[in-house]
């Protein structure tokens, strides 16, 4: 037996191990390099999410001393325990669990949105399931396509409850829960109301963790192809900062590979008339947001000011904290700003009728799809952005076009809406927006040229972070939260008068946009998100200009068109308002 009281001795497949006394069989097996297949289980330590429902029974193992099969994901080890993960009994039990799931699952893998990304499909292959032995009744639910962002197909729900854990425990939105019982059970909004009628923020984290296609994004790729092939349309595309550090994964490239130049080349070859960078609009956002922060500080305005770049977080506060709607910045999000500038300033420069212009946004975020349809984000009844596709959708389109993406040559974005700085790049990760704002606010408030632009105290992956930045005689107190559950804690402090912050950055998705609901599926490997974050900071460091107000095309835009930051015209084009929404 183990001598250390905190360690115990067990055997797995005749292999003797010393392990902590408070872990599960699954954790012990992982430490020993012994794979036990799982499906409903998902453990994202860095994101503080653990789904342990043990509902799928795919991780069954044999515990001979107990003469039974037990689920490895929830069964704790004990001293002297002997476990078999490779017995015929355990293997057959796992296979039967998958066969039973498949017996009530649509047989449409070839046309499914998650084909080759489906964890149920992968398990069936791994466990050697070659036929469905039990043919019987199947669930028949209508597809919920009511929203502009998320499609819910209850027929593909396997009741793993991952989405429920993410929605309720991590994001604290409280939208998804189990409906009905037994054969007819599935996960959805209360009373199975349409998604569009719920308080869903469309953050897409439920989509990110769903192992099947029970939850997917609304696909807009056909709309893009139609626009590109319409000779009467001038099609503009923009791509968010988080795309360039994740897209390569979908073409077999190493996680965290920066593909900025290849991305610009690929979009141009697809046939877009202008290839712009959302980073340009991120710099523009900082010009307005930093100005707004300084204006609030100097004029005793409402503090703290909260960043407003994330549409899922904006919808969260509208539903959950409507009494705090004077707190967020009134700035539009960067991709909406770029759409606005493209259909006004740029359209005038090149002599194009804005009604003939189609603006396509490539985003890591599913919520951007719904944001683009918000009625207040229009100009003369024209949407600022017409079509939004995710990182995953773009990869599918590039594959449809037969592009050898990893071997494409690098090129640059078009001007004027393609010039960017390092400050705009870091918008893609938690802490990046507020760091970019501080770089500019510091220069403007002190009149000095800030040399050390890396505010490392604002970086990291902790769910809630805080820092103080000295600007003149003022200690600027900053709060940062990523994940809506963490945002809730900061908002409750503001509501209760406990907040001492001047500025707060909130991003709905764990990790920020790099962990967005439209990014390549990480399948539970949170290290992938960290690699994307590291790449974001590398891209920033390699930029010649690293402050938004130094972007020459931004300077030119204000000189030629907008006047000064936070001017009347800038406010008319680049700012918006919010509305209290019912919580359902």
Cα dihedral sign, 370-268-274-284: positive
5 CB burial (10 A radius; 0-12, 13-18, 19+): exposed
3-state secondary structure of 262: helix
- The catalytically annotated residue of 329, 333, 383, 548 is 329
How far apart are the C-alpha atoms of 151 and 30, rounded to whole Å?
34
329 noted as active-site residue: yes
For every residue of 455-478, DSSP letters joined together read -GGG-S--SEEEEEEEETTEEEEE
- The catalytically annotated residue of 217, 255, 288, 289 is 289
In 3D, which of 374, 254, 358 has the Cα closest to residue 308? 374
How far apart are the C-alpha atoms of 376 and 318, rounded to whole Å?
14
292 noted as active-site residue: yes
Q: For residue 394, what are its two tokens?
A: 């773009």
- Secondary structure (H, E, C), 335-373: HHHHHHHHHHHHHHHHCCCHHHEEEEEEECCCHHHHHCC
253 CB burial (10 A radius; 0-12, 13-18, 19+): middle
Across 95-233, the runs of DSSP E, i.e. the strands, are 150-152, 176-179, 186-189, 215-217
How far apart are the C-alpha atoms of 38 and 57, rounded to whole Å?
8
How far apart are the C-alpha atoms of 359 and 368, rounded to whole Å?
13
Q: At what angle do helices 88-103 and 119-126 cross, to 10 degrees?
A: 140
Q: How many residues does the chain have?
A: 584
CA distances from 497 to 119, 304, 483, 493, 494 (A): 45, 11, 22, 6, 5
Cα–chain center distance at 62: 38
At residue 547's C-alpha, the angle toward residues 368 and 308, to 5°, is: 30
Residues in a beta bridge with 388: 361
3-state secondary structure of 343: helix
Q: For residue 300, what are its two tokens?
A: 């005793």
- The catalytically annotated residue of 152, 262, 315, 368 is 368
How far apart are the C-alpha atoms of 131 and 96, rounded to whole Å?
11
368 noted as active-site residue: yes
How far apart are the C-alpha atoms of 52 and 40, rounded to whole Å?
7
298 noted as active-site residue: no
513 noted as active-site residue: yes
Q: At what angle do helices 391-400 and 260-270 cross, to 10 degrees?
A: 60
- The catalytically annotated residue of 119, 292, 435, 505 is 292
With beta carbons less than 8 A apart as the criterion, state whether 7 and 91 touch. Answer: no
- The catalytically annotated residue of 119, 217, 371, 419 is 371
Helical spans, DSSP H, in 54-170: 88-103, 119-126, 162-165
- The catalytically annotated residue of 114, 217, 513, 550 is 513
Residues in a beta bridge with 54: none
For every residue of 293-326, DSSP letters joined together read HHHHHHTT--SSEE----HHHHHHHHHH-GGGTT
309 noted as active-site residue: yes
- The catalytically annotated residue of 108, 348, 376, 400 is 376
User: Among all residues, which ones are annotated catalytic?
Assistant: 289, 292, 309, 329, 368, 371, 376, 513
């Amino acid at each position: 037996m183990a001598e250390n009281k905190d360690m115990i001795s067990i055997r797995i497949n005749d292999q003797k191990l010393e392990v902590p006394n408070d872990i599960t069989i699954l954790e012990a097996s992982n430490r020993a390099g012994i794979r036990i297949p799982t499906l409903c289980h998902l453990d994202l330590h860095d994101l503080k999410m653990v789904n342990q429902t043990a509902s799928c029974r795919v991780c069954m193992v044999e515990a001979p001393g107990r003469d039974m099969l037990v689920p490895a994901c929830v069964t704790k080890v004990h001293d002297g325990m002997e476990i078999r993960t490779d017995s015929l009994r355990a293997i057959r039990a796992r296979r039967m669990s998958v066969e039973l799931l498949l017996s009530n699952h649509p047989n449409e893998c070839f046309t499914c949105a998650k084909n080759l990304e489906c964890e149920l499909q992968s398990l069936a292959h791994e466990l050697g399931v070659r036929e469905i032995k039990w043919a019987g009744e199947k669930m028949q639910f209508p597809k919920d396509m009511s929203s502009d962002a998320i499609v819910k197909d209850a027929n593909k729900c396997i009741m793993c409850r991952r989405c429920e854990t993410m929605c309720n425990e991590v994001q604290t939105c409280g939208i998804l829960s189990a409906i009905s019982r037994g054969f007819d059970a599935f996960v959805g909004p209360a009373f199975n109301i349409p998604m569009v009628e719920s308080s869903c923020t469309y953050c897409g984290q439920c989509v990110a963790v769903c192992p099947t296609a029970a939850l997917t994004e609304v696909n807009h790729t056909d709309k893009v192809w139609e626009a590109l092939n319409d000779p009467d349309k001038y099609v503009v595309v923009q791509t968010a900062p988080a795309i360039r550090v994740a897209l390569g994964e979908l073409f077999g490239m190493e996680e965290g590979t920066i593909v900025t130049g290849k991305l610009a080349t690929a979009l141009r070859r697809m046939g877009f008339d202008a290839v712009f960078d959302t980073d340009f609009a991120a710099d523009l956002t900082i010009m307005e947001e930093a100005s707004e922060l300084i204006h609030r500080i100097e004029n005793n305005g409402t503090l703290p000011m909260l960043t407003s770049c994330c549409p899922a977080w904006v919808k969260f506060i509208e539903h959950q904290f409507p009494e705090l709607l004077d707190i967020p910045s009134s700035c539009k999000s960067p991709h909406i700003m770029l759409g606005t500038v493209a259909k006004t300033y740029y359209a005038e420069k090149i002599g194009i009728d804005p009604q003939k212009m189609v603006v396509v946004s490539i985003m890591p975020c599913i919520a951007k799809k719904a944001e683009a349809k918000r009625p207040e984000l229009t100009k003369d009844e024209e949407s600022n952005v017409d079509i939004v596709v995710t990182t995953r959708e773009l990869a599918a389109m590039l594959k449809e076009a037969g592009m050898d993406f990893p071997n494409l040559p690098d090129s640059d974005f078009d001007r004027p809406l393609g010039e960017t700085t390092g400050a705009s790049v870091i918008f893609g990760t938690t802490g990046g927006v507020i760091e970019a704002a501080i770089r500019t606010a510091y220069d403007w408030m002190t009149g000095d040229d800030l040399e050390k632009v890396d505010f490392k105290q604002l970086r990291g992956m902790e769910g809630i972070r805080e820092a103080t930045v000295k600007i003149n005689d003022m200690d600027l107190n900053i709060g940062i939260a990523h994940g809506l559950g963490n945002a809730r804690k900061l908002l409750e402090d503001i509501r209760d008068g406990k907040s001492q912050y001047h500025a707060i950055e909130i991003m709905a998705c764990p990790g920020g946009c790099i962990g967005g609901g439209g990014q390549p599926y990480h399948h539970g490997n949170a290290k992938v998100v960290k690699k994307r974050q590291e790449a974001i900071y590398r891209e920033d460091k390699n930029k010649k200009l690293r402050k938004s107000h130094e972007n020459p095309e931004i300077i030119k835009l204000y000189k030629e068109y907008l006047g000064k930051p936070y001017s009347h015209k800038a406010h008319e084009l680049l700012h918006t308002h919010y509305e209290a929404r019912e919580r359902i």
